[in-house]
């Protein structure tokens, strides 16, 4: 696929890049005016925060993994949006008021107030580990696309490594320019590009497929002649540990997953804390779900239309493409590079870069913030604002390097797991989320727990997820149907969180620690 991008395509990509740089520089000037690289003076519009939340949560995984998910399966991933709605309401009315009342810069300051400084550092450290895992996986997915676009292959490790470096360096540079405000403004701009590109691709596919909308809808409601899969299926009511996106998994484990993502992950909660009040923060959270549902639905519909285009030559007739791309990263990318007209191709590639950058810039800022507020401030309590800002910039570079290294590890991990890109990226997050959510639940809803309990709960969550992910395959467990047992993401989250919460509440609670929230 090398050479698929023409001059006009690269000009469109360059125009996008210059626009993002201009937004970053403008927001950097605003950040210097309010002297707050971490919360932007709590003056950010809820609408901008909502757009940034959506862009951060989606990333390149949704851009590439969403179409792949519905191309290989159906629309049951949408049931996960139900779990997000439930979770975001709880975050808006339970978690956010606690954070605003505590006056914290990082959410882990709340744990410090409850159990003391060492507990705060322990859970902040687990966030850092989990974010390196999760965002390293996202960076890996994005690098596959960049490698395919620039070099025409995803099989050469050295070219994937070069692609990782390109993305990391670019995201690092403009994250350094303006703190959280730059991240939020560029995320909002990138979401607009990303969503526009998906709509353009859907429109082109509908134009290429020689059926009307009603006929396409009827087709995807009919079982696939080969696999028997109903592409339009949204709700799967089966109780199957192997399946990630079932109704019961969505109402249990996936609700917990999204509670952890939006309520305990500094990468996402930091955006909501930039609003001027807990009410505006809650509004931004709920609005993000309304926007996010529309964006995710479009990418899943895109995958279904790609399935019709590539896998139903009986329907396409003379309009059928000669060769279908491999499942995985090449499903949507193959269509972009081979089928889209010049100029439009460049716009969609710009959307892909937007998706990749919107998650990486935010996590670099969040990791830098926690490193400064939860660790540096405790050892340098009298550091000046200038010293703190200088240190935060150094941490941005360090975290960019660590994320890049783990992205290269993911090359082997994802191929060994056999998961789709989207499920693989979600599963990596569980190692931190189970223990973190258990600790926050114990802190908010019980009178038990201690520093030792926090550490033990975090370790329990991490180990239990590892055992559930890799254990059944190692010992040869099978389902009743004789298939290898693979405990899916939602069930791993449920069982791991319950185990970690049980461990965390074994210890009696000391008196709450009062003092600086963030150290």
337-370 confidence digits (pLDDT tens): 888 888 888 877 877 777 677 667 778 888 988 9
What confidence score (pLDDT) does residue 445 get? 92
Environment class of 90 (CB within 10 Å of its CB; exposed 0-12, middle 13-18, buried 19+)? middle
What confidence score (pLDDT) does residue 97 get? 94
Answer for the pair 184, 53: CB distance below 8 angstroms, yes or no: no
* Structure tokens given for 166: 């390109």
Question: In degrees rounded to 5, what are phi and psi of residue 77?
Answer: -60, -25
What confidence score (pLDDT) does residue 517 get? 43
pTM across the whole model: 0.82
% of residues, the chain, pLDDT over 70: 87
* Structure tokens given for 2: 């090398």
Look at the block and give the residue holding tokens 């949006």.
Answer: 81
pLDDT at 514 over 50: no
% of residues, the chain, pLDDT over 90: 32
What confidence score (pLDDT) does residue 179 get? 63
Integer CA distances (angstroms), 425 to 95, 233, 302, 303, 345, in order:
25, 23, 20, 18, 26
Per-residue pLDDT reduced to its tens digit, 430-451: 999 999 999 999 999 998 999 9
Q: pLDDT band at residue 83, thresholds of 50, 70 and 90?
A: very high
Domains of the chain: 7-504 (1.20.1730.10)
Span of 159-168, 324-333, 438-447 with lowest mean pLDDT: 324-333
What confidence score (pLDDT) does residue 1 get? 46
* Dist. CA 337–CA 262, nearest whole Å: 35
The radius of gyration of the chain from alpha carbons, rounded to an integer in Å, stands at 22
Average pLDDT over residues 401-417: 85
pLDDT at 31 over 60: no
pLDDT at 266 over 80: yes
What confidence score (pLDDT) does residue 515 get? 42
Instruction: Give the count of beta carbons closer than 10 Å to the beta carbon of residue 6.
Output: 13
Q: pLDDT band at residue 483, thresholds of 50, 70 and 90?
A: low
């Amino acid at each position: 696929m090398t050479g698929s991008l023409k001059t006009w395509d690269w000009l469109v990509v360059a125009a996008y890049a210059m626009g993002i740089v201009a937004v970053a520089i403008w927001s950097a000037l605003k950040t210097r005016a309010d002297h707050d690289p971490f919360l932007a003076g709590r003056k950010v519009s809820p609408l901008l925060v909502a757009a940034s939340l959506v862009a951060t949560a989606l990333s390149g995984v949704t851009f590439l993994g969403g179409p792949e998910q519905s191309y290989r399966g159906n629309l049951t991933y949408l049931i996960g949006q139900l779990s997000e709605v439930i979770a975001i309401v709880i975050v808006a009315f339970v978690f956010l008021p606690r954070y605003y009342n505590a006056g914290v810069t990082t959410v882990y300051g709340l744990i410090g107030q409850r159990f003391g400084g060492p507990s705060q550092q322990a859970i902040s450290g687990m966030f850092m580990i989990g974010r390196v895992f999760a965002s390293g996986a996202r960076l890996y997915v994005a690098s596959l696309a960049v490698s395919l676009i620039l070099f025409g292959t995803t099989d050469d490790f050295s070219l994937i490594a070069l692609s990782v470096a390109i993305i990391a360096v670019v995201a690092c540079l403009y994250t350094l320019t303006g703190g959280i405000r730059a991240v939020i403004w560029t995320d909002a701009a990138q979401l607009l590009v990303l969503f526009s590109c998906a709509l353009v691709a859907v429109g082109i596919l509908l134009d290429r497929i020689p059926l009307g909308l009603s006929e396409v809808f009827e087709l995807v409601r009919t079982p696939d002649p080969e696999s028997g899969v109903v592409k339009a299926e949204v709700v799967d009511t089966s109780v199957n540990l192997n399946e990630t996106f079932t109704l019961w998994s969505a109402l249990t484990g996936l609700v917990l997953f999204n509670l952890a993502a939006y309520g305990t992950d500094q990468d996402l909660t930091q955006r909501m804390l930039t609003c001027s009040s807990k009410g505006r923060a809650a509004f931004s959270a709920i609005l993000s779900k309304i926007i996010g549902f529309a964006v995710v639905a479009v990418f899943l519909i895109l995958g279904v239309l790609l399935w019709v285009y590539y896998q139903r030559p009986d329907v396409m007739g003379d309009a059928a493409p000669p060769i279908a791309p491999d499942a995985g990263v090449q499903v949507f990318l193959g269509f972009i590079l081979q089928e889209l007209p010049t100029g439009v191709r460049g716009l969609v590639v710009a959307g892909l870069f937007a998706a990749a950058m919107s998650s990486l810039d935010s996590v670099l800022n969040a990791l830098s913030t926690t490193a400064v507020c939860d660790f540096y401030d405790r050892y340098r309590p009298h550091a000046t604002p200038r010293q703190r800002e200088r240190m935060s910039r150094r941490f941005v570079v360090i975290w960019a390097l660590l994320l890049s290294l783990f992205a290269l590890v993911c090359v082997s991990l994802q191929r060994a797991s056999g998961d789709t890109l989207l499920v693989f990226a979600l599963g990596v997050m569980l190692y931190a989320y189970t223990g973190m959510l258990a600790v926050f639940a114990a802190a908010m809803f019980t009178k038990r727990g201690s520093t030792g309990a926090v550490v033990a709960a975090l370790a329990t969550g991490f180990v239990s997820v590892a055992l559930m992910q890799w254990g059944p395959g190692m010992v040869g467990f099978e389902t009743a149907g004789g298939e290898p047992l693979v405990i899916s993401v939602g069930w791993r989250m449920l069982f791991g969180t319950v185990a970690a919460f049980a461990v965390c509440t074994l210890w009696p609670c000391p008196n709450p620690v009062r003092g600086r929230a963030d150290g």
